Amino acid sequence: MMLIGYRLSESNVFQEIFDQVVFLAISHRMVGGRVLISDSTHLKANANKRKIIREEIQQSTKSYIEELDDAVSQDREEHDVHDPVPYVERLEHQDQKFGFEESLEAVALDAGYLTSYICKKLHDKKLFAVIGGRAFTPVKGLFAKWRFKYNPEKDVYVCPQKQELAYATTEHGGYRMYKSKAELCRDCPMLEQCTR
């Protein structure tokens, strides 16, 4: 398909150009659709060195982060956005648009896509998935995460002192949180190595 004379609508011009490049790559056997790779970055890039905006902000880091979190939460509520859902919809759209339904075997995703929803959908589609894990930097002097053993039958983690941490909640990104009982930990001889 030729791009010359092809009328691109103003609202999605970049998507249409990208799609045409993919179709051209498919026609030249440069893309086979066996593996799709995605990055979860949601920030608009701006590498223009001539458009630097210098601004000094008189605000504490904590209040700034809280303000950002509030704005993100409000935007998510207003638009009913659940991050895993757009990825799965986009994957299905790419399958259909580019004819990858029969050829797609695997996906490679960064840690931003590591949610139970996405894992389940990829499993249902029988796709092999390589998904980056979240890098938890251990705090010096505290137990590393691997010291807490998961018990799938009870859905609990067991600490080095053999106390159970029960499921508490699931965060925005699909990460499950487990918590201990304060009354059990209060007198623990290893409390200083467990939490601050």
Q: Model's pTM, two decimal places?
A: 0.49
Domain region containing 162: 145-194
Q: Is the pLDDT of residue 59 over 70?
A: no
- Residues 35, 94: one domain? yes
Residue of 60, 39, 19, 28 lying closest to 108 (CA atoms): 39
- Residues 63, 110: one domain? yes
- Residues 26, 87: one domain? yes
Q: pLDDT tier at 40 (50, 70, 90 boundaries)?
A: low
- Residues 127, 32: one domain? yes
Q: Which region among 2-6, 34-38, 39-43, 66-70 has the lowest average model confidence (pLDDT)?
A: 2-6
Establish if 54 belongs to a structural domain. Answer: no
Q: pLDDT tier at 174 (50, 70, 90 boundaries)?
A: low
Say what the pLDDT of residue 2 is. Answer: 45
Establish if 99 belongs to a structural domain. Answer: yes
Q: Taking the CB of residue 104, how many other CB atoms lie within 10 A of it?
A: 21
CA distance 31 to 186: 58
Say what the pLDDT of residue 115 is. Answer: 78
Q: Which region among 70-79, 106-115, 119-128, 131-140 has the lowest average model confidence (pLDDT)?
A: 70-79
